[in-house]
Amino acid sequence: MSSRIFKRSARAFRAPRIASQRIVNLDQSSREGGVDRFRTTRWDIVLLSAQSQAVGYKEALAELYNLYWYPLYAFVRRRGHSPEDAQDLTQGFFLDLLEHKAFTRVDQQNGKFRSFLLASLRHYLANETRSALSLKRGAHIEFVYLDMQNIQNAENRYGREEPIEALTPEKIFDARWAMALLGEARKRLSLEYSAEGRAATFEALIDFLDPLNSKKLPSYDQVADQLNVSVAAVKTLIHRLRKQYTELVREEISRTVSNASDVDAETHELCEALIAAEGRILP
Amino acid sequence: MKTDPGGAANESGNVKNPTGVLEHEIRTCPACGTKFSATGAAGLCPVCMLRGVAAGASASSKAPDTASALERGFEQRDPISVSRRFENYELMVDERGTPIQLGRGAMGITYKAFDVDLRCPVTLKVINERYVGEESARRRFLREARSAASLHHTNVASVFHLGRSGPDYFYVMEFVEGETLGKLDQTFRPA
């Protein structure tokens, strides 16, 4: 395992977030309902920047890639590579993305980040050799996105996910992608409430996002007592929570597609992958 | 990935195994029939979460009140909100007025219904509410109905009618009194 690279990565892990704001405006922030939305990097803007070699696109790509690297890692593992090789290949793939001309092949009008990454990864795996990998390890590395803890967590998670022999690796990749996307939306929702000093409200209401699947759903009265508000206010808070979550999920999907009109199609594709996975992908 | 009953529960009610790793269990969403992995008491069906987005978005494009439209996206999961009448078939309800569900899968939901013309119970299958208005799902549902109608066997419920409810299809099968195969399997499975 290339521990030298990974040690550096722990330090470099968050650096791109700061740099991208300063160098090039690749982010879209919004202020809705008095709430400052956390900045989000959109794939279509990254793509345009990459194709024009704009300064800062690498950092922005790193930020997006960071959210969705686990599905790629698991895809490589499923292709039969050892954990160590999968780590190197996933990392090497990202470096290859930064250095290579893969972006010039992407159709700006019909590009999805998910499809782009998977196609590029398959291309990379087909061409990659151990010697090339070794060279890559020794090369000057400007951006590193993995750290040891992330890798260990990924391997633990991969080991606990049940095999899905009946599904293609691509379908499993899509299901993992969907879970990563929903996880990011939930994390952002939690961060937004915390930033407003309303973490307790979030915790009290989170089960109401999907009341049918909550085993211990509290009553409105209980939540009203807990938050010291009226029952009517609880209903309003739940409504707002759902609305915010829905918007965040949609925002997460829209940042990975080039056209707003692709969001629904992307949503349906991800749903089909999740249904096919039958719960064997961990949240 | 079943929850380990011997595991220790943390503050949020999640169960950990002896190595400290959160255990997951596979649940079936009562709204859409999707199997998903959940931790502890909380459970978010990923398909419903995504479908809520799609439903909210399609509704919001028609209505100016985005908030209420998004809310309707979630409300579509309410199984009681399904239409009660399909041509000459009326969904039968239980004592609480809820349509009697015989089964639920990822694609469709089957109800016990009543043929008001022939005056006999039937089984009526409708497309899952999460897919209502979706063209690809409509095509799959139609294909399923046609395949089922081509089967003729004493142990297979016959399909005898395909109809439309708005833009979507439903089909009707003979109603067979008894338990589901899954329940029978559980009942007679050796200990």
Q: How many CB atoms lie within 10 A of CB A95?
A: 18
Q: Which residue has the higher pLDDT, A192 or A138?
A: A192
What tokens does A102 get?
A: 């893969």
Q: Which residue has the higher pLDDT, A94 or B1?
A: A94
Mean pLDDT of A135-159: 60
What tokens does B176 get?
A: 């067979």
d(CA A150, CA A182): 18
Task: Report the share of chain A in percent with pLDDT over 70.
Answer: 71
- The residue of chain B with its CA nearest to that of A175 is B46
The A residues from 174 to 233 touching B (CB cutoff 8 Å) are 178-179, 182, 186, 206-207, 209-210, 212-216
Mean pLDDT of A63-88: 84
CB contact under 8 A, A206 and B42: yes
pLDDT at B5: 37
Mean pLDDT of A161-166: 66
* Cβ-based contacts of B36 with chain A (< 8 Å): 213, 274, 279, 283
Q: Tell me if residue B184 falls in helix, strand or coil.
A: helix
Instruction: Tell me the C-alpha to C-alpha distance, in Å, between residue B32 and each of A120, A155, B50, B132.
Output: 34, 31, 12, 12
Q: Are B92 and B110 in contact (CB under 8 A)?
A: no
What tokens does A76 get?
A: 């490589």
Is residue A267's pLDDT more than 50?
yes
- Whether the ipTM is more than 0.95: the answer is no
CA distance B50 to chain A (A): 6
* pTM for the predicted model, two decimal places: 0.61
What tokens does A185 get?
A: 């939306």
* Cβ-based contacts of A207 with chain B (< 8 Å): 41-42
Phi–psi pair at B104, nearest 5 degrees: -150, 125
pLDDT at A110: 57
Dihedral angle, C-alpha B31, A213, A263, A193, nearest 10 °: 150
Tell me the one-letter amino acid at B92: M
pLDDT at A14: 32
Give start and end residues of each alpha helix (H) in A146-219. Answer: 148-160, 169-195, 199-205
Is residue A140's pLDDT more than 60?
no
pLDDT at B79: 41
d(CA B31, CA B40): 19
d(CA B101, CA B79): 9
Instruction: Report the DSSP beta bridge partners of residue B174.
Output: B122
* Cβ-based contacts of B13 with chain A (< 8 Å): 216
Cβ neighbours of residue A122 under 8 Å, at least 6 residues apart? none
pLDDT tens, chain B, 191 aa long: 443 333 344 434 444 454 444 567 888 877 667 788 887 666 788 888 887 765 544 443 433 333 344 444 454 444 444 567 888 888 887 766 678 888 887 778 899 988 878 878 899 999 876 676 677 788 888 888 899 899 888 888 899 999 987 777 899 999 988 877 777 887 887 76
What tokens does B170 get?
A: 């439903």
> How far does CA A259 lie from the centroid of its chain?
18
CB contact under 8 A, B56 and A246: yes
Mean pLDDT of A49-54: 71
Question: Among A20-29, A223-232, B156-165, which stretch is predicted with the lowest mean pLDDT?
Answer: A20-29
Is residue A190's pLDDT more than 80?
yes
pLDDT at B1: 43
pLDDT at A66: 79
